[in-house]
Chain A
């Protein structure tokens, strides 16, 4: 993975740029000491690091606009940053860039349970949005695994999903409006507490644009009344194919669970060693969760069990209490942590049509054998969003490169099966150079034209999403 050569001219003008930022922002909002900018050298994608020229941490939309105006006039690239939990390098700086972090902007600005929305500053963490409306009996639906730490700003940039998308959709389906600042400092308000755009749906294209169109400072989010209850069932299978077929049958039967999670044997074993959730030792297991009142849950779990029995399950373990539910979820929720304890790993994020699950899992197994690296599978099966974890040893020479090569092959497989490179983590720098696998140059040109309209000088997060050779002319202009 390459990043563009930093502009030596900008680095030479560093002091002047920092002084201009200090002139328009409070003293503690500009960081340029190398020992402090180091903290911003990478995000959750730690394979690549580079400290920025400076970091600004504004507290208001006005301060964001002031900082961007300076950077625009100075021609400095700006890398927006939420909580820095991106798994694809969305907030990875370059040496000539200013990181603009919104973490200090975390206030709840308005909450209205009658109109069912909350308006927040985007530095607020995902989980704390739900917490803010909890006492009123509401929640915010998108729930990425990093929800304790990740910021709404990053959720909007990556159009984050989570485990409950099958029923509630992803960020874009729960975002009603936003306030953003364009690179030249213009403040734009899109949407609000009402539904749908009158004309072109700018809100829809800003969501998921990876911080390349503007810095989103405020968001109006849809909140939903909490269901009366929820309960999972764990179903164990002798083959991944049987589990995959069971998922397809559940969906086809008209039951719409809030979550269908899949784990394979390598993952189950690692989780058991770590969390001791009492999972059966089997080739594949599903955790299916349904919501509603007690009788409704019982009815749906009954239907699911009947479907599962057609696929020769080894075990059907229906939760009968909150404690049993917690045990069923325990292993799944500790999956990434468990993997991290035993190995280094790369987490992939491709999505495939649900119907292709059995075939793709078999093909991933073949690739795993060919590359000589174990792959553990844990993913949101209901929506086809796979998270194969490629296990490797970072200290063994060449293994990281081999793991990356295997990752690329698996993602190509996802695209060939009718899916995509990334379901919820974003392209960032990690999958930037694979974009040609999924899109023609014309497809990418159309996307880059959107950036041209919002950020004609390509200063916002410029080296992300699009292969560098395709964006070179625009970034140089």
Chain B
């Protein structure tokens, strides 16, 4: 395991590499692929935290938990609510901010506050030839040159090894509440969530458990007075879908959305797990076609988690839809056979390949690409 302690050492390790590097942050999303393991975990620490500018600059290997602690002390948080993959994947280790950025991880608040990509203001990375590159910065409005920050977010280490990330952070609201509607069928649940997300009351999360006793949840956050007002208005607006129970206990609200964020309902259950990003109004039909053993809808229906028998090709069941399906949990052989990521149409695949060839001409950073 190569464990560079500085950006210069990362560059040196890449230049010295004679074969593929398997780059990982905390390793909580499973093996990083074939090659010599390279961990960014020693690239740790806060470079700059400016609470009054809502910005944080951290080294890539900094644990997410450490970032969250630091922000919490200032009454702030990461807007995109990154998922912790350990419960679902049964992995150990420490999630790092670099891993979150490289996989563009987010959580239920994605629909309102964006994903990691939307909060990332700047990056520093080492490309496949060992050159250090900086892009973006630490300000919220910046159109100076191409946005390689977005390009690196979600690139799974295929274009470069992230060494430093600047993030936009947000204040933690004073209060939060969850409205729960029981008993809705999937199509009805998606309609209820769409209705809620179409109101001016700034619903920050909308999820649905289509299990034997279905539940649909909506979250409101803000000043205490606002949350009370908005929860009341929202419950009234959703009356056609049933009587909403309102939970306002802070610890309960937090715990519940953390469970949705981490998809704990599928943790520890046998089978493969698929993560499908879909146009919300197509979600109910997609869920029916999936014939999954269990499922969870987030993002108002725009994200569907599916549990299916090991080794089955869920994509062929789903057929054609507006979105994409990622294989999140499966045996390595299944990943190899079915592909982790949804196959891209030829012109998009050609552009992605052209970029990878230019950022990593020796093909040593491909470990994250199944």
A-side interface residues toward B, CB under 8 Å? 112-116, 137-138, 158-159, 161, 165-166, 169-170, 172-173, 182, 186-190, 192-205, 207-209, 225-228, 248-249, 251-256, 292-293, 295-296, 299-300, 351-355, 380, 383-385, 418-427, 431, 435, 438-440, 442-447, 449-454, 465
Q: A204-B149, A447-B146, A453-B354 are in contact. List 16 more A-B contacts (CB 8 A).
A: A113-B198, A195-B299, A196-B106, A200-B151, A225-B199, A351-B142, A354-B52, A384-B53, A419-B137, A419-B139, A420-B142, A427-B143, A435-B144, A438-B145, A444-B145, A447-B135
- Give Cα A352–Cα B51 distance, bound, in whole angstroms: 15
Given A208-B147, A420-B142: A295 touches B114 (CB 8 Å cut-off) = no
Assess the B146–A170 pair: CB atoms within 8 A. no
- Of residues 133 to 166 in B, which have CB atoms within 8 Å of A's CB atoms? 133-135, 137-151, 153-156, 158-159
**Residues from chain B with Cβ under 8 Å of A427 in the complex:** 143-145
User: Nearest chain B CB to A213's CB is how many angstroms away?
Assistant: 8
Give the contact stretch, choosing among B83-91, B241-249, B251-259, B344-352. B344-352
Assess the A353–B141 pair: CB atoms within 8 A. no
Q: Is B132 an interface residue (CB 8 A)?
A: yes
Assess the A200–B158 pair: CB atoms within 8 A. yes
The contact of B324 among A115, A137, A194, A439, by CB within 8 Å, is A194
Kindly name the residue among B51, B53, B149 whose own CB sees the greatest number of chain A CB atoms within 10 A.
Answer: B53
The contact of A425 among B143, B226, B359, by CB within 8 Å, is B143
Given A192-B322, A353-B50, A354-B53: A207 touches B150 (CB 8 Å cut-off) = yes
Assess the A385–B141 pair: CB atoms within 8 A. yes
Q: What is the count of residue pairs linking A and B with beta-carbon distances less than 8 angstroms?
A: 264
Given A166-B140, A227-B200: A355 touches B53 (CB 8 Å cut-off) = yes
Assess the B151–A204 pair: CB atoms within 8 A. yes
Assess the A355–B52 pair: CB atoms within 8 A. yes
Assess the A383–B144 pair: CB atoms within 8 A. no
Q: Is B9 an interface residue (CB 8 A)?
A: no
Kindly name the residue among B133, B140, B151, B352 whose own CB sees the greatest number of chain A CB atoms within 10 A.
Answer: B140
Q: Is B238 an interface residue (CB 8 A)?
A: no
Kindly name the residue among B52, B127, B146, B200 whose own CB sees the greatest number of chain A CB atoms within 10 A.
Answer: B146
Q: List 8 A-B contacts (CB under 8 A).
A: A115-B194, A161-B141, A195-B277, A299-B226, A422-B143, A427-B143, A438-B144, A450-B151
User: Nearest chain A CB to B186's CB is how many angstroms away?
Assistant: 14
Assess the B117–A194 pair: CB atoms within 8 A. no
**Residues from chain A with Cβ under 8 Å of B229 in the complex:** 293, 295-296
Q: Is B326 an interface residue (CB 8 A)?
A: yes
- Give Cα A388–Cα B255 distance, bound, in whole angstroms: 47
Assess the A201–B154 pair: CB atoms within 8 A. yes
Across the interface, name the chain B residue whose C-beta is closest to A182.
B347
Assess the A251–B134 pair: CB atoms within 8 A. no
Assess the A188–B352 pair: CB atoms within 8 A. no
- Give Cα A425–Cα B226 distance, bound, in whole angstroms: 36
Give the contact stretch, choosing among B36-44, B64-72, B169-177. B169-177
**Residues from chain A with Cβ under 8 Å of B110 in the complex:** 195-196
Kindly name the residue among B137, B143, B277, B279 whose own CB sees the greatest number of chain A CB atoms within 10 A.
Answer: B143
Q: Is B205 an interface residue (CB 8 A)?
A: no
**Residues from chain B with Cβ under 8 Å of A384 in the complex:** 53, 139-141
User: Interface extent on B, as a size class?
Assistant: 35 or more
The contact of A450 among B197, B280, B347, B355, by CB within 8 Å, is B355
User: Nearest chain B CB to A344's CB is how many angstroms away?
Assistant: 25
**Residues from chain A with Cβ under 8 Å of B55 in the complex:** 353
User: Nearest chain B CB to A167's CB is how many angstroms away?
Assistant: 10
User: Nearest chain B CB to A328's CB is how many angstroms away?
Assistant: 22
Given A173-B118, A351-B139, A352-B139: A114 touches B352 (CB 8 Å cut-off) = no
User: Nearest chain A CB to B324's CB is how many angstroms away?
Assistant: 4
**Residues from chain B with Cβ under 8 Å of A442 in the complex:** 131-133
**Residues from chain B with Cβ under 8 Å of A450 in the complex:** 146, 148, 151, 355, 358
Assess the A114–B355 pair: CB atoms within 8 A. no
Report the 4 A-B pairs with minimum CB-CB distance, sorted nearest first.
A204-B150, A254-B171, A423-B141, A453-B354
- Give Cα A166–Cα B113 distance, bound, in whole angstroms: 12
User: Nearest chain B CB to A233's CB is how many angstroms away?
Assistant: 17
Assess the B226–A115 pair: CB atoms within 8 A. no
Given A192-B322, A194-B323, A228-B200: A199 touches B352 (CB 8 Å cut-off) = yes
**Residues from chain A with Cβ under 8 Å of B111 in the complex:** 195
**Residues from chain A with Cβ under 8 Å of B135 in the complex:** 443, 446-447
**Residues from chain B with Cβ under 8 Å of A443 in the complex:** 133-135, 145
Q: Is B218 an interface residue (CB 8 A)?
A: no
Q: Is B316 an interface residue (CB 8 A)?
A: no
Given A166-B140, A295-B225, A447-B148: A198 touches B52 (CB 8 Å cut-off) = no
Across the interface, name the chain A residue whose C-beta is closest to B369.
A199
Assess the B223–A296 pair: CB atoms within 8 A. yes
Assess the B151–A116 pair: CB atoms within 8 A. no
Q: Is B278 an interface residue (CB 8 A)?
A: yes
- Of residues 323 to 355 in B, which have CB atoms within 8 Å of A's CB atoms? 323-324, 326, 341-342, 344-345, 347-348, 351-352, 354-355
B-side interface residues toward A, CB under 8 Å? 50-55, 75, 104, 106, 110-111, 114-115, 117-118, 127, 131-135, 137-151, 153-156, 158-159, 170-174, 191, 194, 197-200, 222-223, 225-226, 229, 277-281, 299, 302-303, 322-324, 326, 341-342, 344-345, 347-348, 351-352, 354-359, 369
Given A384-B53, A443-B133: A204 touches B147 (CB 8 Å cut-off) = yes
The contact of B141 among A196, A248, A424, A452, by CB within 8 Å, is A424
Across the interface, name the chain B residue whose C-beta is closest to A245.
B52
The contact of A353 among B139, B278, B299, B344, by CB within 8 Å, is B139
User: Nearest chain B CB to A185's CB is how many angstroms away?
Assistant: 11
**Residues from chain A with Cβ under 8 Å of B342 in the complex:** 198
Assess the A207–B139 pair: CB atoms within 8 A. no
Assess the A204–B153 pair: CB atoms within 8 A. yes
Assess the A202–B145 pair: CB atoms within 8 A. no
**Residues from chain B with Cβ under 8 Å of A114 in the complex:** 191, 194, 198, 280-281
**Residues from chain A with Cβ under 8 Å of B278 in the complex:** 194
The contact of A196 among B104, B133, B155, by CB within 8 Å, is B104
**Residues from chain A with Cβ under 8 Å of B140 in the complex:** 165-166, 351, 383-385
Kindly name the residue among A161, A420, A439 whose own CB sees the greatest number of chain B CB atoms within 10 A.
Answer: A420
Given A114-B198, A170-B141, A447-B146: A199 touches B341 (CB 8 Å cut-off) = yes
User: Nearest chain B CB to A169's CB is how many angstroms away?
Assistant: 6
The contact of B155 among A186, A193, A195, A201, by CB within 8 Å, is A201
- Give Cα A352–Cα B150 distance, bound, in whole angstroms: 20
User: Nearest chain A CB to B237's CB is how many angstroms away?
Assistant: 11
The contact of A296 among B54, B115, B225, by CB within 8 Å, is B225
**Residues from chain A with Cβ under 8 Å of B356 in the complex:** 200
- Give Cα A281–Cα B197 distance, bound, in whole angstroms: 43
Assess the A420–B144 pair: CB atoms within 8 A. yes
**Residues from chain A with Cβ under 8 Å of B139 in the complex:** 351-353, 383-385, 418-420, 423
- Give Cα A208–Cα B187 distance, bound, in whole angstroms: 37
Across the interface, name the chain A residue whose C-beta is closest to B194.
A114
**Residues from chain B with Cβ under 8 Å of A420 in the complex:** 137, 139, 142, 144
Assess the A115–B114 pair: CB atoms within 8 A. no
- Give Cα A194–Cα B342 distance, bound, in whole angstroms: 14
- Give Cα A228–Cα B194 distance, bound, in whole angstroms: 18
- Give Cα A115–Cα B142 distance, bound, in whole angstroms: 29
Assess the A158–B143 pair: CB atoms within 8 A. yes
